[in-house]
Amino acid sequence: MSDAPNSDNKPANGTSKRASRMVKVWDIPTRAFHWSLVSMVFIGILTGYIAPEWWMGMHVWAGYITVTLLVFRLVWGVFGSEYARLETFAFGPMHILTHMKEIITLRPVRHYIGHNPSGAAMIFGLLIVLIIITISGLLVLGGEENQGALAGVASYAIGDMAAEVHAFFVFALMAMIVMHVGGVILEGRLTGENLVHSMITGLKKVPQGTPPLAHRRARPLYAALVTGLFFSGAALGLENLAKIPPSGLVQLPANAAYESECGDCHGVFHPSLLPIASWQGMMQSLEDHFGEDASLDDDSVNEITAYLTQFGGENWDTEASNRFAILDPAKPYSIIATPYWVRKHDEIKPEVFKRRGIGVKSNCGACHTDHYSGRFDDQKINIPEEKKK
Amino acid sequence: MNFSKTSIKTVALALVLSAFAATSAEAGPREDIIAKFQAQAEAPANPANGEQMYNATYGTGKPDTPKCTTCHGATPQQGGETRTAKLIDPMAVSKTPDRFTDAKKVDKWFRRNCTGVIGRECTAQEKVDFLTFLAGQ
């Protein structure tokens, strides 16, 4: 981190037509932060929209790394070198508006050594939006998927709400990224400066005659101390949060009758996958069970009905129990007929279900290696490959 | 005299007991199940009829399951698969030794599978034919 003496972030008059010199503006941590954040956001968007669900692990990691980066950047905004410090680009609203007007009307703009007012506004906006996205993401993970630090505290309903916030702000983020990149290009045109290049080399052009001004050095030791303190605090908090068992998951005792009688023809279905009324109706019509006779003696019927009533869908607060509660009215006993199941599996080709080791759509355990827990985590999906008979 | 009489009695008792023990060792739960059906059947078990039943196509039960081999293996020595892709061990006792050893299980599946395939419960005669055929496989 060489800190060449140069001017502060006050506007220097004139355009870049005049002779100029290069000064070091962005220190290494700031640049590393910028490009790491770019890659994390890129991975996040890619794994969030395009990649199959079992890449969720990567999406979540991108989120955790983003949080780390954000925390670091805020700390560096206090202890970093001159132009990394938040105070050097905290402009007032009028200042920002004037600058935006200059850009939009394509007038030659004033030159700023650090971030210009519009860029600075964008940075604060991006930081805030990213904080909202990561927090809501953590809530979705805890509420809907029962994973992560908030699994024990976030209910499914909270997770569901957070999912909408998450999606909305990701849209906002993508719009802001477009504006940010557009701004960089426009600003480059107007001032003749290559801002992307600056973010790589750290060097920016300043017009000749800019008076050399005090350039405060970074205080990496303080930064490390505060960052370390923050993360040890966070780790302690997370460890305690992680001790709370995931909310909405019930301790499910084994039931020999259910597992043997209802596991004779197909894998045993987790009791959370259908509402209680469906189980009860099914248990009363076992003579005609999906085109087969699955009848049982009365004792077994009673025992299994009691078990499924005690542990049916309404007793859980998981993604599966909430989603499969909405049935196909024509097939109230079928999981694979529920709108959610159909929607989640409509990209899987019919041949895939016919593979050896899968056979039928209702063979949940063939692809969901955690089906016995009722969790159906994205990361636990593993579609068996075609095997020769 | 008394002594030899007692010893003859003892030997006789021992013989009877050991003979009993020998037969009961042979008659396991499977034999009991078969014997129970035999007692209700009109004629002695005929494995050939059981074999015919194993391979026959009925089509008088539920539409998806016209024959026993819809789910059970094409031959008793082969494994089968339910319509929901769960593997079924071979029905031949030589391949799956614990076949037909649980009376409750045998009754349950005869009830289900006969109504599913044939459209009615099987008779004791059919059951004993079917089981003796597979016990000899």
Could you list the residue range(s) of the whole structural domain that residue B93 is in? 28-135
Summarize the confidence of residues B64-83 as an average pLDDT.
Answer: 93
pLDDT band of B122, cuts 50, 70, 90? very high
pLDDT band of B128, cuts 50, 70, 90? very high
- Per-10-residue mean pLDDT of chain A, 389 residues long, equals 42 49 87 96 92 81 94 94 90 89 77 85 95 94 86 87 95 96 86 86 79 77 92 87 81 90 93 96 94 92 96 92 94 96 94 88 93 88 75
Q: Choosing among B102, B108, B109, B120, which should be mutated to test the A contact, i.e. which has the most A CBs within 10 A?
A: B108
Q: How far is CA A126 from CA A16, A119, A123, in A?
A: 28, 10, 5
- The three state secondary structure string of A317-335 is CCHHHHHCCCCECCECCCC
Residue B104 is assigned to a structural domain of this protein:
yes
Residue B22 is assigned to a structural domain of this protein:
no
Residue B7 is assigned to a structural domain of this protein:
no
All residues of chain B having their beta carbon less than 8 Å from the beta carbon of residue A359 are 81, 84-85
CB A158 within 8 A of CB A139: yes
Residue B80 is assigned to a structural domain of this protein:
yes
In this model, does residue B123 exceed pLDDT 50?
yes
CATH of the domain at B116: 1.10.760.10
CATH of domain A15-242: 1.20.950.20
Element spanning A23, H or E = strand A20-24
Domain count, chain B: 1
- pLDDT score recorded for residue B25: 41
- pLDDT score recorded for residue A213: 60
Summarize the confidence of residues B70-93 as an average pLDDT.
Answer: 92
Closest Cβ opposite residue A265 in set B82, B104, B111: B82
DSSP character at residue A211: P
| pLDDT tens by residue, B83-100 | 888 889 999 999 999 999
Domain boundaries, chain A: 15-242, 256-380
| pLDDT tens by residue, B30-62 | 999 999 999 999 999 999 999 999 999 998 989
Q: Choosing among A259, A260, A262, A264, which should be mutated to test the B contact, i.e. which has the most B CBs within 10 A?
A: A264
- pLDDT score recorded for residue A338: 96
CA distance A258 to A278: 16
Q: How far is CA A191 from CA A109, A205, A339, A378, in A?
A: 7, 10, 55, 48
| Lookup: tokens for B128 | 């004993």
The answer for residues whose C-beta is within 8 angstroms of residue A311's C-beta and 6 or more apart is A250, A252, A271, A272
Q: What is the pTM of this model?
A: 0.73
Residue B17 is assigned to a structural domain of this protein:
no
All residues of chain A having their beta carbon less than 8 Å from the beta carbon of residue B112 are 292-295
- 8 Å CB contact of B86 and A265: yes
| Lookup: tokens for A310 | 């005690």
